[in-house]
Amino acid sequence: MTYLWVGLGGALGAMARFWMASAVFRAFERPFPYGTLSVNLLGSLAIGVAYIWLVQQQWGTEHHKQLAMIGFLGAFTTFSTFSLESLTLMQQARWSAAFIYMGVSLVGCLLATALGMWVAKSLV
């Protein structure tokens, strides 16, 4: 049953990632990975909330955690794509864009996760 929950969450997360990244790409139409950046920031915020609610507060069942954290957010967040896009920017000698992208992604996602945890704790 675990595989079903993870798979269902993964399918939904992958579709949500594709939809959001595509929408952001269409909105900006610039040679910068705004779609991946927005997905990583939102996914980091969401995993902060999910961790507090599903793990620390133990709201829901183990299946909810498998569906949301492992499945949905595992497919929604995109650090493998982040790595490839960072390397591509560096290979194109777009050093400023590469380091801005990496810095904002890493620091921004950590801050977004902390914000998600703070928001979740505030609502408890």
> Residues annotated in the binding site for Na(+), as ranges?
74, 77
Pairwise CA distance, residues 74 & 71, whole Å: 5
Pairwise CA distance, residues 95 & 87, whole Å: 10
Torsion angle of C-alpha atoms 5, 11, 15, 17, degrees rounded to 10: 70
Residue that is written with structure tokens 């993870």 in the block: 6
Residues near 8 by Cβ (< 8 Å), separated by ≥ 6?
67, 71
Binding positions: 74, 77
Pairwise CA distance, residues 31 & 60, whole Å: 41
